[in-house]
Amino acid sequence: MSLFGTSAGFGTGGTGVFGSTTTDSHNPMKDVEVTSPPDDSISCLAFSPPTMPGNFLIGGSWANDVRCWEVQDNGQTVPKAQQMHTGPVLDACWSDDGSKVFTASCDKTAKMWDLNSNQAMQIAQHDGPIKAIHWIKAPNYSCVMTGSWDKTLKFWDTRSPNPMMSLPMPERCYCADVVYPMAVVATAERGLIVYQLENQPSEFRRIDSPLKHQHRCVAIFKDKQNKPTGFALGSIEGRVAIHYINPPNPAKDNFTFKCHRSNGTNTTTPQDIYAVNAISFHPVHGTLATVGSDGRFSFWDKDARTKLKTSEQLDQPITACCFNHNGNIFAYASSYDWSKGHEYYNPQKKNYIFLRSAAEELKPRNKK
Amino acid sequence: MGRKKKKQMKPWCWYCNRDFDDEKILIQHQKAKHFKCHICHKKLYTGPGLAIHCMQVHKETIDSVPNAIPGRTDIELEIYGMEGIPEKDMQERRRTLEQKSQESQKKKSNNQDDSDEDDDDDEAGPSAQQVVSVQPQTGYATPMAQPGMPPVAGAPAMPPGGYQGMPPMMPGVPHMMHGMPPAMHGMPPGMMPMGGMMPPMMPGMPGIPPGMPPHMAPRPGMPHMAPAPAAGAIPSRQAAPAAQPTVTKPLFPSAAQAQQSASGAPASNSHSTAASSDPPKATFPAYTQPSVSSSSSTSSSSNPSSSTVAKPPATVTSKPATLTTTSATSKLIHPDEDISLEEMKAQLPRYQRLIPRAGQAHAAAPSVAAVGSMMPPQQGMPPQQPGMRHPMHGQYGAPPQGMPGYMPGGMPPYGQGPPMVPPYQGGPPMGMRPPVMSPAGRY
């Protein structure tokens, strides 16, 4: 379905809602601005699954809220609802049927938000902030997986206050991704664990990190048969590793690439290396998008090992990104990620979420 | 893949001394890094070709090959892949590699990180992570015990038990074994000879000697992972490009979990060997550890990652003059502490206020209001920016039940979880929140 069918709603630089906006560096790509963005840094974005008609976007922020917008075909965004936690929201995800949103927060709880009734109830409790939350839909069970800074990975049946299962991790959970039957968790101290989710979740393998710096984001990709086969792992050192679980030739198949760095060709000045804040795979093309602290997003084709596009530089880091279920929309959030410490935090600076038409730019490059 | 004679069987780049799996990749590398026009990015085939192109097309002269190490920048030398390399450089390379293979992984610290993959956006280099990296720290006791032993490389394999890879290298090993405990005590004195041995061992690796001492440090509790990685590392080291130490294949479970934990190896940037670096760092601070750990470690809290110094290039032991493909310094835009950005931000008082369980509506309510203001008192900002930030509660309060877009079907029962039906839906908190908010109409 074409999201931005007419040019009316799209490409006008998001001027619609907030009156006239100049083309300053807050939106150099002239993408559509989502209306009523959160008041503090956006930690996560997620689009509704294909089981629901239409596109709904949820975004969690450090303002303790999770907001939901409807994204219409003409590009207009309509705020629909929001829920609150008592601490910053770090992650959010949808259930497979699109009726619930699960949110994870620094207040050590996770909530299940029923969108129809706009009620949210707590479904999980940890001893530390919950950094990652994912919905698992297996043939014989369904549950919510939460990864926390308390070094545990817990699985919750939403009806019970006690977890169905709790797996210890070597370190604090920094990021995770789930594509049934595989789950990957990256922890502090460069830990990397793969879980298999069939029958019940269990640790499958601990992997030596392909990266030498702190892990920051991870995203699973699938093979041509739509089965999860590997993951992309991003670090704070402007680098992403593409890692296959069982490749025929690990030395050749696994690789890393640098990204989100300044001074591409100019070698005289020191290069600034930025963290990769999020990675998302296009659901149809299998190409990936990375967003970084440098305020740019880039699209890559991991099979052709080429870069497809890099955006202009926004004036703030890009902290989150996601594709909608059919890959027509790419959403990314512009807000401060603390990469330069406390001094550069300006609470008055606006936070944005932008939407971009993603059908064309993420087409794979033909292999040479 | 077992590699014995790297220079003959393993192609390497004359301009920057990097190793490659095959010549095709080597040529791709040269075209992308050394024969690429900096003006128009056209990839030429040779150095002279690049020079001619720049002259004819851009009217610019270039006098040195881009990204080449000093001494190898001659633009007029016609080198393509492995062809055209001057014989004396070949011999020097052969010698260097022989020495390298004798010393095994201890030396691998030099070539790290940035050189591991092709940086360009269009190319990805071979993953340097594949190869097992040796735990340099292991087996240092042995060198101590054998001042006369030329092959320093044998040291890693020394630990009692597994010498799989070692025998060819350390004929005197068994004797060493017994002598190890006493040797350990005598480590410091024993280290001197080792230190002296190092330099002659590694003419090609100027960076290594500084890295050696930390490994030499006496290890009363010799981690038992030592034998495994050491033994396993040595043969596998052959497989890796000499400059690119990579992941250790743990042979022992303890190694496995150790691997998860640490990051920077003391003497090398090798990621996987980080595991073994942790114990040494704790026990042997006296040696060069500080210089090594400060530069290379990114994980341990005692070694905060430097935000101003490039991690790989900055390490004492890494990056001998031969290696850097990019500029010498780079800057990691990240605060010093090696915790995640979210953890740093969460430490701020304004985000800590609301940690009490959300179940306490009363407690939560006022704090929600406080949060709603968004601006902690310390910042001295008005609670909200009128006109700019809308809490949007008005809108949200309206359609709590009217979500036409959501399919009501299949809603599982909420169950009897903790009674968390918070007032957050919109009414009460909204009332508290926006004293200063003047929602400007629709927006």
CATH of the domain at A182: 2.130.10.10
Chain B residues whose beta carbon lies within 8 Å of the beta carbon of residue A268: 327
In eight-state DSSP terms, residue A121 is E
Per-residue pLDDT tens for B287-316? 333 333 333 333 333 333 334 333 333 333
Least CA distance to B341: which residue of chain A? A338
- Contact B126/A252, CB-based, under 8 Å? yes
Residue B416: pLDDT band with limits 50, 70, 90: very low
Across A105-119, B250-264, B412-426, the highest mean pLDDT is recorded for A105-119
Q: What is the mean pLDDT of residues B92-106?
A: 77
Cα angle B262, B265, B269 (rounded to 5 degrees) comes to 115
The residue to which tokens 């190092």 are assigned: B198
Q: Compute the radius of gyration of chain A from its Cα atoms.
A: 19
Instruction: Please indicate whether, in this complex, the C-beta atoms of B335 and A79 are within 8 angstroms of each other.
Output: no
pLDDT at A160: 92
Give the distance from residue B443's alpha carbon to the nearest chain A alpha carbon, in angstroms: 7
Residue B106: pLDDT band with limits 50, 70, 90? low
H or E segment to which residue A308 belongs: strand A306-310
Instruction: Give chain A positions within 8 Å (CB) of B339.
Output: 188
Q: Among all residues of chain B, which has the CA nearest to that of A162?
A: B417
- Would A12 be classed as within a structural domain? no
Indicate if the pLDDT at residue B351 is higher than 80. yes
Three-state secondary-structure class, residue A166: strand
How far is it, in rounded angstroms, from Cα B48 to Cα B65? Answer: 9
Q: Where are the beta strands (DSSP E) in A115-190?
A: 119-125, 130-137, 142-148, 152-156, 165-168, 173-179, 182-187
Residue with tokens 């703030």, as numbered in its chain: A316
Tell me the pLDDT tens digit for each residue of B114-134: 444 444 444 444 444 444 444
Within a domain: A19 = no
Residue A68 neighbours by CB under 8 Å, 6+ apart: A56, A57, A58, A79, A80, A81, A82, A101, A115
The mean of the pLDDT values for chain B is 53
Nearest CA in chain B to A344: B335
Give A-chain residues touching B346 at CB under 8 angstroms: 88, 106, 129
B409 CB neighbours in chain A (<8 A) are 97, 99
CA distances to A91, B39, B73, B366 from B59, rounded to whole Å, are 55, 11, 20, 71
Match 């400060």 to its residue by tokens: B294
Domain that holds residue A249: 32-362
The partner residue sitting opposite A271, judged by closest CB among B330, B343, B390, is B330
Query: B104 pLDDT band (50/70/90 cuts)?
Result: low
Task: Tell me the C-alpha distance between A214 and A187, whole Å.
Answer: 9
Candidates B112, B117, B419; nearest CB to A255: B117
How far does B147 lie from chain A, in Å, by closest CA? Answer: 34
Q: Is residue B403 predicted with pLDDT exceeding 70?
A: no
Task: Choose the mutation target among B341, B344, B379 for the interface with A, i.e. most A CBs under 10 Å.
Answer: B341
Higher pLDDT, B46 or B421: B46
Residue B429 has pLDDT above 80, yes or no: no
Q: Provide the edge-to-edge strand list for the sheet that holds A142-148.
A: A130-137, A142-148, A152-156, A165-168
List A208's β-bridge partners, or say none.
none
A25 occurs within a structural domain? no
**Cβ contact A271–B326 (<8 Å):** yes
* Helical (H) or strand (E) element with A46: strand A42-47
Q: How many CB pairs under 8 A join A and B?
A: 324
Rg (CA), chain B: 30
Q: Is residue A3 one of the residues assigned to a domain?
A: no
Type of residue at B285: P
Selection from A135, A132, A284, A155 nearest residue A217 by Cα: A132
**Are the C-beta atoms of B170 and B145 separated by less than 8 Å?**
no
pLDDT tens digit sequence for B146-202: 444 444 444 443 444 434 434 444 444 444 444 444 444 444 444 444 444 444 444
Q: Is there a domain that residue A354 lies in?
A: yes
B-chain residues near A337 (CB < 8 A): 341
Q: Do B340 and A216 touch (CB under 8 A)?
A: yes
User: Residue A340: its chain B contacts at CB < 8 A?
Assistant: 333, 335
Cβ of A161 within 8 Å of Cβ of B272? The answer is no
Residue A15 lies inside a defined structural domain of this protein = no
Residues of A in contact with B121 (CB under 8 A): 257, 259, 306-307, 310
Average pLDDT over residues B349-362: 58
Residues in chain B: 443
d(CA A174, CA A206): 15
**Which DSSP letter does residue B398 get?**
S
pLDDT at B210: 43
Q: Three-state SS for B30?
A: helix
State how many domains chain A has. 1
Chunked into runs of 10 residues, chain A (368 residues) has average pLDDT values of: 40 43 76 94 96 94 95 93 94 95 95 94 95 95 96 94 94 95 95 94 94 95 94 95 93 92 72 94 95 95 93 94 95 94 90 94 79
Q: Please answer yes or no on whether A62 and B420 come within 8 Å at the CB atom.
A: no
As given in the structure block, the two tokens for residue B76 are: 């007029």
- DSSP strand pairing (A271-273 vs B330-332): parallel
Q: Could you give the residue ranges of the DSSP H alpha helices within B186-325? A: 187-201, 208-216, 227-239, 253-261, 274-283, 289-296, 311-314
Share of chain B above pLDDT 90, in %: 4
Read off the pLDDT band of B8 (50, 70, 90).
low
The backbone region for B52, taken as left when phi is positive above 0, alpha when psi lies in -120 to 50, beta otherwise, is alpha
Distance (Å, whole) CA B147 – CA A134 = 57
B89 pLDDT above the threshold of 60: yes
Q: Do A80 and B359 touch (CB under 8 A)?
A: no
Amino acid at A93: C
Which of A56, A255, A259 is opposite residue B127, by nearest beta carbon?
A255
Q: At what angle do helices B274-283 and B289-296 cross, to 10 degrees?
A: 140
Name the token pair of B339: 């915790």
Residue A20 lies in a domain: no
Task: Say if CB B130 and CB B21 are below 8 A apart.
Answer: no
